[in-house]
Chain A
């Protein structure tokens, strides 16, 4: 089976890696975007340092909002295990990514064994159109809404009403919510940057801080992308900075606007894009002579790519370490259907070994 191409021409992986390395070495402004496991991320960041690249998640906007909550404001958070065992009130804040719907369903199907209340109520902050995760056992979440205003405005109204302040628009079912909070021992707010703006995330943390003046509450961070949040963690320990970091000047600089890789590509700043993801990018319009190196799970060359190398899916075709929102930490995953396709980390190291004659990558 072919696993590497230069343009549309099938070739050996070693040749494709060498060609990719040559492109990276000659690039004026290389950018990386990835959606990969921890070891793929580590290898990619080490390569980025070597070639002076900027890097980001393949779908970085939502992750950037979540990251900004921590870099700019801080947060009160709780582990998913404690949420399952202790949350007697669960508040779903806005739209959650589908990958977390099973866990929300699990919360609806269980009761908190570490809470004296031994029951669980559900609320949903949003509008009538906010898609709610399906709850089992015929349970429903009580809607807390200010009509069609933004989620941030609804959270602001909720926070103001909780503090006994006047609001221009009252939150629907607020009395039920207030009653539930009065009885609650450990309410937990489920949040994600998936469809929630940064200011809304901050407002939510303000509400949680208010609740903690006299009682307990916390927030469960359900990241927009599990791979993405894993990459945030790995980037932070490797460079001191989260994603949207660049090595243009030989050392890492974090700048969530400047190193927004999607922006850099759209603005024509980048001249080479290394995309690492098992999903295949859609063919892009040729603009600004941007060259593409694609590491993807594919049986054919990615349209428009100067180099394509096939990789296996982490945790499916090879063992992997991934972030798990179910445990709130990193998890080792065995290959479920092992194949001979190499991991992203393997290919990235192969490319790096062709970039220069220096020592092997540290990761």
Chain B
């Protein structure tokens, strides 16, 4: 089928297309304008902006901890049920089915679940398989597991460590590797309550820094396209900017991605000893080209914090709102689920301002990524409002007027004039995420790309415009019209597939038998277990 999206304002930074034009789709791919022949279907896009489908690199949309959060908080979505819709289960609360529909309506076509416990890979992929329309991917968590810590302690060769990382990525069908407060979950099991970059994990004598550097080298050595995805130590603590700065410095020329930097943007100035260190961190990021970051923007209201940083979540359980929490010591990281409400008080305002400062003070939109760390800073449904804050200084000022002025006095936000352009939005939410994840087939509108396309009708109300796409195509299927789902389909989970080393597999088999009394088979699964046609799409490693 040949489709023409006619007369829209094309924003495609990768291919240098900015301005009025057409986009052609043949079946599931974008193609150059045909020399002859008429389109089977024409979408009139006059007065519309046409971009590639958006990509979210860090959103907790599925897996054990996310599901535990749903279980913990049935009341959080009972009160705002959608009315029955035409699509199966798409009106079902905070569910997998609704997740896919809501993302698609905003023009997002690929979303990365950034924290998959390797032991819960099957569970995670089953949830992702029930998220309709969009493509998904996961990052496998390493860095608190006994096998890796023991290898580092015993000074295993870099090849052995790469073999283990490769086996983990391959067997869990992951697209990359994440390390979460490296070593802290293992230390917490031994009753350690705070843990910094140069602290040692008891019983292993391995520092958090050593774990990060080891995994960073392994990811680079294996040619995993996405740099090691790092959740730093001391998340949420006053003074955590020092930790983030030290971690940025530890990149040492190799690619490193720091997740939700907002949660580390905290200084210790002022009478409350809680201030913005965003300007300092932004300067560091600007000066360190090998580092990329995503924000984890805070927006106000009720949410739930979900993290495999079990030590941090344990310490935060006292602030739970409503007052209940789950803290789980897992085989590696485990996790903590702590509901939280961001108020417009001093602290909430400070967090809100820090996130925006980072967005606006980091110069290069290719290295700063649009996230709320869903749902930790805010649910992803807050994205339209966040786009507006980034693109309109007026909207920021109006919002700031109702917030804590004493907090804003300790940030530089009021002095920042920058407004994101649509081109910068297209880079930050399309082109750059595709590049960062190694997904050459998306994030742009060039010939050969998969036809993931979002069309937005221009409107002065940016939140309205970007919150309900006029048209969304996924793999060439028209799935959204006028902000409503019109076609239900199933996406894939994107994965790497490095070949596991046979000796490492034997070693892991012995390890699981001896330590857990179980065969490795207990932790593996065939693709058929997902019960969908072609549940996975393979992405190559760099060679």
Residues of A at the B interface (CB closer than 8 Å) are: 38-39, 42, 45-46, 49-50, 67, 70-79, 81-82, 84-86, 106, 110, 113-114, 116, 185-186, 212, 215-216, 218, 232-234, 236-242, 250-254, 319, 321, 324, 326-332, 345, 359, 361-363
Q: Complex: how many Å from CA A324 to CA B74?
A: 24
Residues of B within 8 A of A72 (CB): 324
Which residue of chain B has its CB nearest to the CB of A76?
B327
| Cβ A240 vs Cβ B330 within 8 A | no
Q: Is B9 an interface residue, CB under 8 A from the partner?
A: no
Ordered by A's residue number, 28 sampled pairs between the chains whose C-beta atoms are within 8 Å are: A42-B531, A45-B89, A70-B72, A70-B326, A71-B73, A75-B327, A77-B328, A82-B329, A85-B516, A114-B203, A116-B203, A216-B189, A216-B191, A218-B327, A237-B96, A239-B95, A240-B94, A240-B98, A241-B70, A252-B93, A329-B64, A329-B120, A330-B126, A332-B122, A345-B531, A359-B88, A362-B130, A363-B531
Partner of B515, one of A76, A85, A233: A85
Within 8 A of A (CB), among B212-266: none
Return A181 CB to nearest CB of chain B, in Å. Answer: 13
Q: Is B529 an interface residue, CB under 8 A from the partner?
A: yes
Residues of B within 8 A of A85 (CB): 146, 515-516
Q: Give the interface SS of chain A, mostly helix, strand, loop or mixed.
A: mixed
| Cβ B122 vs Cβ A330 within 8 A | yes
Partner of A71, one of B71, B146, B334, B522: B71
Residues of A within 8 A of B13 (CB): none
Residues of B within 8 A of A79 (CB): 119, 328-331, 334
Which residue of chain A has its CB nearest to the CB of B328?
A77
Q: Complex: how many Å from CA A84 to CA B122?
A: 22
Q: Complex: how many Å from CA A238 to CA B100?
A: 12
Residues of B within 8 A of A70 (CB): 68, 71-72, 326
| Cβ A240 vs Cβ B529 within 8 A | no
* Known A-B contacts A79-B334, A106-B517, A239-B95; A319 and B488 likewise in contact (beta carbons under 8 Å): no
Given contact pairs A50-B88, A85-B516, a sample of 10 additional A-B residue pairs in the complex whose CB atoms are under 8 Å apart = A70-B68, A116-B203, A237-B62, A237-B130, A319-B529, A326-B518, A327-B523, A329-B120, A332-B122, A332-B526
Which residue of chain B has its CB nearest to the CB of A327?
B522
Partner of A82, one of B93, B189, B190: B189
Residues of B within 8 A of A49 (CB): 88-89, 92
Stretch from B20-28, B77-85, B502-510 at the A interface: B77-85
Q: Complex: how many Å from CA A252 to CA B74?
A: 11
| Cβ B81 vs Cβ A238 within 8 A | no
* Known A-B contacts A113-B515, A216-B190, A326-B518; A237 and B82 likewise in contact (beta carbons under 8 Å): no
* Known A-B contacts A42-B130, A236-B71, A241-B93; A251 and B84 likewise in contact (beta carbons under 8 Å): yes
Residues of B within 8 A of A77 (CB): 326-329
Return B178 CB to nearest CB of chain A, in Å. Answer: 18
Residues of B within 8 A of A106 (CB): 517
**0/1 string, B127-153, CB within 8 A of A gives 1:** 100101000000000000010000000
| Cβ B70 vs Cβ A236 within 8 A | yes
Q: Complex: how many Å from CA A238 to CA B517?
A: 33
| Cβ B74 vs Cβ A363 within 8 A | no
With a 10 A CB-CB cut-off, give which of B92, B329, B516 has the most chain A CB atoms. B329
Q: Complex: how many Å from CA A331 to CA B518?
A: 12
Q: Complex: how many Å from CA A110 to CA B514?
A: 10
Residues of B within 8 A of A329 (CB): 64, 119-120, 122-123
| Cβ A321 vs Cβ B95 within 8 A | no
Residues of B within 8 A of A113 (CB): 515
Residues of A within 8 A of B119 (CB): 79, 81, 327-329
| Cβ A321 vs Cβ B191 within 8 A | no
Partner of A332, one of B95, B517, B529: B529
Q: Is B528 an interface residue, CB under 8 A from the partner?
A: yes
Return B326 CB to nearest CB of chain A, in Å. Answer: 5
Q: Is B91 an interface residue, CB under 8 A from the partner?
A: yes
Q: Complex: how many Å from CA A81 to CA B117?
A: 14
Residues of A within 8 A of B88 (CB): 46, 49-50, 359, 361-362
Residues of A within 8 A of B488 (CB): 359, 362
* Known A-B contacts A253-B78, A331-B122; A242 and B71 likewise in contact (beta carbons under 8 Å): yes
With a 10 A CB-CB cut-off, give which of B77, B96, B328, B488 has the most chain A CB atoms. B328
Residues of A within 8 A of B45 (CB): none
**0/1 string, B327-353, CB within 8 A of A gives 1:** 111110010010000000000000000
Q: Is B325 an interface residue, CB under 8 A from the partner?
A: yes
Within 8 A of A (CB), among B89-109: 89, 91-98
Residues of B within 8 A of A324 (CB): 522
